[in-house]
Structure 1
Amino acid sequence: MSSDTHTPRRSPVPASPSTLDRRRFLALTGGGMLTFAAATAGFSAAPVRANPVFRENPFTLGVASGDPLPGGVVLWTRLAPEPLAVDGSGGMAQRAVPVEWQIARDPRFRQVERAGTVRATPELAHAVHAEVGGLEPGREYWYRFRAGRELSPVGRTRTAPAADATPEQVRFGFASCQNYADGYFTAFRHLAEDDVDLVVHLGDYIYEGGNVGSIGRAHLPAAECFSLTDYRVRYSQYKSDPDLQASHAAAPWVVVLDDHEIDNNWADDLDGGDVGGAEFAARRVAALKAYYENTPLRRTSMPSGPDMQLYRRLRYGTLADFNVVDTRQYRDNQACGDGRRIDCEDRLDPARTMLGAAQESWLLDGLSDAPATWKVMANQIFMMQADHEAGPVQAFGMDTWDGYAAARTRLLDGVRERGVDNFVVITGDAHRSVAADLKANFDDPASATVGTEFLATSISSGGDGADQDALGGVWLAENPHMKFHNVQRGYATCTLTADSWRTDYRVVPYVRRPDAPVSTRASVYVEAGVPGVAQVSS
């Protein structure tokens, strides 16, 4: 998998760090095997604490890896011996701390491939983003960190195949929308056990509101997040969840944000209440900084003030290209005052944009130039048309691509005109699952099918869910391009070969209490060279 930005069968999870040989770790990181050293996590004016001693485990937030390339991957952790400290510091002093990392070919670190040291600084909440290179394409690795005398848990990652490789299959999971107060993250525990090559997270990693809920998982801080301290505490609360940590430690993640990482339904320089100015700009700066600090992103995605480079392309040999888009930072404001609307003419305005001109061109150019069999668009809000009203009257949600209908038509026309085949969109946000054909004209079922969309439900947002609900009945009746619908919680896994794509909708029966079992509610198939859903097995 290669990275292209615009200016930008696994072994069991290994034993806990307490069972590992600490002297071996020290010897390796201090010896001649140091052929690569990661860059520091930014400059710091803080004094360096060379030999830190921690009263509590500093690795309470776990470990993660991300954005895999054929020769490398990002390794992440964040030092936080007191993760819920009210000042957002994680219990760390205002000092920089050297953190050593290792990546090995085996889970007991007998064959260390690369090792180095990075500096965890107070400016970045003592987060570590070690960009490791010099690895073999398409193989499994294990990694860990050391700060002072403390060892982190062990994570498992996998590099992408070489750019010209022809893997027999790629298997990935995708998920979104984990509201801590709404339910337990049990689905992430099952995803960690599902043996995927990577996880794509499509947004709403946290929720910014002051939700208390009724299951004993009230948000911290108790009020809505606005400041950097607020967002840091909220991320620490979420990342303390053991099921989320397990999923991060099991496979590399590709992440992109949606709205709740900052504010519900924000659009470019306006918050969800259509208020902009200095106050929202400051909130956006704080929220994006905290997002970077807590996710395994490369330095090319480090925020610059209120801006953050998130759209990027990840290549998985000749089998799949993942085009990760950003549908928040460049969009026009929602039409007709947002919400669900009937007869909103503004949504049809061709001057309106969801992606912005530069990102839209980047996406279409990349799709048309891609040698890969499957061209994947990792997208936050659903692209298919979704009429919410029974009968001849149509009602559409303005925050989705329905509120930017002309921009959607322009994009799908561009896909058709460029002869892009095997176009598949994966989507989150809606707290329900849908498999649908993407049509040249959604109001004409006989019009050309351009691609396929897989919308996956939430991890926990919305509570327990159900197999079906009233809205789902309306959607299936009024939108014939929709071929499957479900409202349970969970995630999706996708298995890609040169001939077919299969999406398995993995669901749990409840989230308001822990330890729910998982099952496959439906498997949906697409045939290579034939756009749209070929078969639904449930």
Structure 2
Amino acid sequence: MDRRQFLRLGGFLTVSVAATGLAACGGGGNDPPPDPAGDSGNPENFNFVHGVASGDPRPDSVIVWTRVEGTNGKRPVVVRLQVATQDDFAPPTLLVNQPLMARPEWDYTLRNKVTGLSAGTRYYYRFLLGNRASATGRTRTAATAGTALSQLRFAFVSCQDWNANHWAGMEELAQQDLDFIVHVGDYIYEAVPGGSRTGLVEDRHAPLTLPSGTALPDGSVYATTLDDYRYLYRSYRADARLQALHASAPMIAIWDDHEFSDNCWQDRQTYDSDDDLTPRTARRRAANQAWFEFMPADVSFDADNPSFQNIQIYRAFTFGNLATLVMTDERLYRADHIIPEQSTGRAVGSVFLVEADTLAAAEAAKIANAGGVLTPVSMLGDVQRAWWQDRMGGGNTTWKLWGNQLSMLRMEVDITEALSKLIARALVLVNGTLAPVESAMATALASDLAVAKAAGTYVGLGYAALRNVLVSVGIDAAGFDATIKPFIEARLPSVTLLGKFILNADQWDGFNAERKNLMAFLKSNSIRNVVALSGDIHAFFAGQVMDDFDAPSPAPVMVDLVTAGLSSNTLLSSFRAVVDNDQAFAALRDLIYSNVGGTLINTFDSTLRTFNPWLRHVDTNAEGYALVTLTPDKLNCTFHTMQRVSGGTAPSVATGGTQALQVTSNTADVSVL
């Protein structure tokens, strides 16, 4: 290999060009010296403790990664990369045999782009410290654009919290023969619990202690410095199951919020209501650099750029004529939440359980004040939105896949209607003679509660509509006031919780105008077979994305498949904690769960399905991953639900159940099989 076959880019990403006829030892005699002084850096003092990884497969290239750990006085150390078409790395199959330098300023990580590869081909790679080899990784290049492909097999995953459940699902995934793995974010969690960890966590994940960190009122500590973020990546990558997953197939990764800060936007954190008034540029830059160092991604990073936007990670991939994969960044360029936390004093009402009408009015006002542009209400930002449209409109493939951290699906609940039905049902259970008017009672009570909502108080509410219904079954005014009224009022929440509420305004429901803009682009350009691969919300969802969810007759444009967290506290558990621990929300408990004879009944799923008819599948009490088989005619997806850890030990068989789904070509719908 001569100097034309080896390039050094930007201080950290190196490039090797595959060549045939290499010897097993040495690079052919013309290798450039890895260091001007010829210092090998005492490789005998280093070891491979974080495995290997590959990512971002193109038809002629792939990124390979490793990290070495040891001591040599903070000098660079020589590490040799080998890439071959067979896993024995015998000379006839050896294509790259290149010395590289692992440097302390990049935490002894190595990122090398191997070019000159053949399209649609399996390769093997490893790294050497002297004669000691790392684990061998498998990778595969993409098919050339336009090449007829009959099938792709891949997984998509999200939310792998060190401090929740277990990582046995990674072992299962590593056994699959996949073309690639899509990671849609929350690869690490920036905050570690203080004291004892809540929930069930496997024992092999010992508590983590950040080198520096900043404490929060609940005792948890969040990563603040580059050393903190590096520590988290090192800790996660030390797990043999994550190493096996990376070694099994190339990963195409994007970040979400926890790679920097929970529910973040740009360089702002949101741990308390006025946190995001202060830029956290140094912290954001530290998070950017650590992600860049540890992820095998073919992206640009400029350490000399003082901005927090010193990295670009949105990018696109093509797999023959079958699929375009567009990966977007929904954190670095997004505007603040439409209703800022400081205006409500907490996340509820701003990020979670946001009144739909209030949210829509606030968004419309921001757009109007900006002269009609989407900039102040955008998740993607203007430049990335234009790029997204270009990639979606220009990809000449059957399917358009969107690596999209946050769900596009509308998730709302009409609390007035839901509570009215619950109270009507409860009245029937205590007085069976009311059964014939149960539906009429629910409708009438919803009408009465709407009056209270408009007035902003229950004081003076006469329940006129409900009284009229109950007169027909012999309940007069005195009987109503003595029994019915106290029964109802004991079950009502604050009047501020009446109405339609958006479940999570941190996802696309909180950026509805831009969502409508994107759907209008797809619809007006007749772009079909668009499927989002989403995560973040710690639950499985599948459904249709409408052109305008608020229209009288919305039309489906694309499909969103949402994977649960691979290991994370479930969406159901999060909402259970709210209704159990905050008296203001106790009246909503039956919308989330019920307890029958000591058995927890998940009612959250049915609540969401009732008010969101575009949802085809909902499982809010799951952890797991998604496997996809893609053909020209169909996308088949299987959600794998993890069994729970028991006694601190992960189950021997990780998957406890599956749900098969199917999207048929040229239909913006998903079927539950």
Same fold (TM over 0.5): yes
* 1:79 matched residue in structure 2: 68
**Does the 8 Å CA contact 1:70/1:136 hold for their aligned counterparts?**
yes
Q: Are positions 1:321 and 2:337 aligned together? A: no
* 1:63 matched residue in structure 2: 52
Note the residue ranges of structure 2 that are not aligned, 5 or more in a row.
1-21, 212-220, 342-349, 368-373, 418-498, 574-599
Does the C-alpha gap of structure 1 residues 318 and 80 become closer, same or farther in structure 2, counting only changes over 3 Å? same
Q: Secondary structure at the match of 2:669?
A: strand
**Structure holding more helix per residue:** 2
Greater CA drift, 429-438 or 303-312: 303-312
* 2:482 matched residue in structure 1: none
Displacement after TM superposition at 1:154 (Å):
0.5
Does the C-alpha gap of structure 1 residues 458 and 320 become closer, same or farther in structure 2, counting only changes over 3 Å? same
Q: 1:29-80 CA deviation, whole Å, 9 max, x = no partner?
A: 404398x99x98xxx9x9874152434x621100000000001100000112
CA distance in 2, matches of 1:522, 1:186: 19
1:419 paired residue among 519, 522, 526: 526
CA distance in 1, matches of 2:270, 2:572: 25
TM-score normalised by L of structure 2: 0.70
CA distance in 1, matches of 2:171, 2:521: 39
Q: Secondary structure at the match of 1:376?
A: strand
Match runs of 1:206-225 below 5 Å: 206-212=188-194, 213=197, 215=201, 216=203, 217-221=206-210, 223-225=221-223
RMSD over equivalenced CA pairs, Å: 2.6
Q: Secondary structure at the match of 1:498?
A: coil
Note the residue ranges of structure 1 that are not aligned, 5 or more in a row.
1-25, 82-90
Q: Secondary structure at the match of 1:166?
A: coil
Q: Secondary structure at the match of 1:78?
A: strand
CA distance in 1, matches of 2:407, 2:607: 17
Q: Are positions 1:402 and 2:509 aligned together? A: yes
Does the C-alpha gap of structure 1 residues 80 and 277 become closer, same or farther in structure 2, counting only changes over 3 Å? farther
Q: Which has the larger radius of gyration?
A: 2
CA distance in 2, matches of 1:464, 1:271: 22
1:242 paired residue among 226, 233, 240: 240
Question: Which AA in structure 1 matches 2:176?
Answer: D
* 1:129 matched residue in structure 2: 111
Does the C-alpha gap of structure 1 residues 123 and 422 become closer, same or farther in structure 2, counting only changes over 3 Å? same
CA distance in 2, matches of 1:139, 1:391: 57
Does the C-alpha gap of structure 1 residues 218 and 496 become closer, same or farther in structure 2, counting only changes over 3 Å? same
Q: Secondary structure at the match of 1:195?
A: coil
Question: Which AA in structure 2 matches 1:158?
Answer: R
Q: 1:82-115 CA deviation, whole Å, 9 max, x = no partner?
A: xxxxxxxxx5641111211111111111211222
TM-score normalised by L of structure 1: 0.86
Displacement after TM superposition at 1:469 (Å):
3.3
* 1:474 matched residue in structure 2: 607
Q: Are positions 1:526 and 2:632 aligned together? A: no
1:493 paired residue among 601, 614, 627: 627
Q: 1:173-218 CA deviation, whole Å, 9 max, x = no partner?
A: 0001011011221111111112211001011111111225254432
Greater CA drift, 456-465 or 324-333: 456-465
**Does the 8 Å CA contact 2:643/2:651 hold for their aligned counterparts?**
no
2:44 paired residue among 40, 49, 54: 54
Q: Secondary structure at the match of 2:44?
A: coil
Q: Are positions 1:105 and 2:85 aligned together? A: yes
Displacement after TM superposition at 1:135 (Å):
1.0
Question: Which AA in structure 1 matches 2:326?
Answer: N
Displacement after TM superposition at 1:440 (Å):
1.3
Displacement after TM superposition at 1:513 (Å):
2.9
Greater CA drift, 410-419 or 445-454: 445-454
Displacement after TM superposition at 1:479 (Å):
0.5
Q: 1:213-244 CA deviation, whole Å, 9 max, x = no partner?
A: 25443223283210111111111111111111
CA distance in 2, matches of 1:226, 1:80: 23
Question: Which AA in structure 2 matches 1:228?
Answer: L
Match runs of 1:34-433 below 5 Å: 49-50=39-40, 52-55=42-45, 58-81=47-70, 93-110=73-90, 111-212=93-194, 213=197, 215=201, 216=203, 217-221=206-210, 223-273=221-271, 275=275, 280-301=280-301, 304-305=305-306, 306-307=308-309, 308-336=311-339, 337=341, 338-340=350-352, 341-342=354-355, 343-344=358-359, 345-348=361-364, 349-350=366-367, 351=374, 352-392=377-417, 393-396=499-502, 397-433=504-540
Greater CA drift, 270-279 or 456-465: 270-279
Does the C-alpha gap of structure 1 residues 536 and 143 become closer, same or farther in structure 2, counting only changes over 3 Å? same
Displacement after TM superposition at 1:523 (Å):
1.0
Question: Which AA in structure 2 matches 1:488?
Answer: A
CA distance in 1, matches of 2:85, 2:362: 55
**Does the 8 Å CA contact 1:347/1:398 hold for their aligned counterparts?**
no
**Does the 8 Å CA contact 1:464/1:509 hold for their aligned counterparts?**
no
CA distance in 1, matches of 2:86, 2:656: 31
CA distance in 1, matches of 2:555, 2:80: 54
Q: 1:98-138 CA deviation, whole Å, 9 max, x = no partner?
A: 21111111111121122222211111101111100111110
CA distance in 2, matches of 1:421, 1:427: 18
CA distance in 2, matches of 1:480, 1:30: 63
Does the C-alpha gap of structure 1 residues 278 and 78 become closer, same or farther in structure 2, counting only changes over 3 Å? farther
Displacement after TM superposition at 1:261 (Å):
0.7
Question: Which AA in structure 2 matches 1:456?
Answer: T
* 1:7 matched residue in structure 2: none
Greater CA drift, 510-519 or 162-171: 510-519
Q: Secondary structure at the match of 1:61?
A: strand
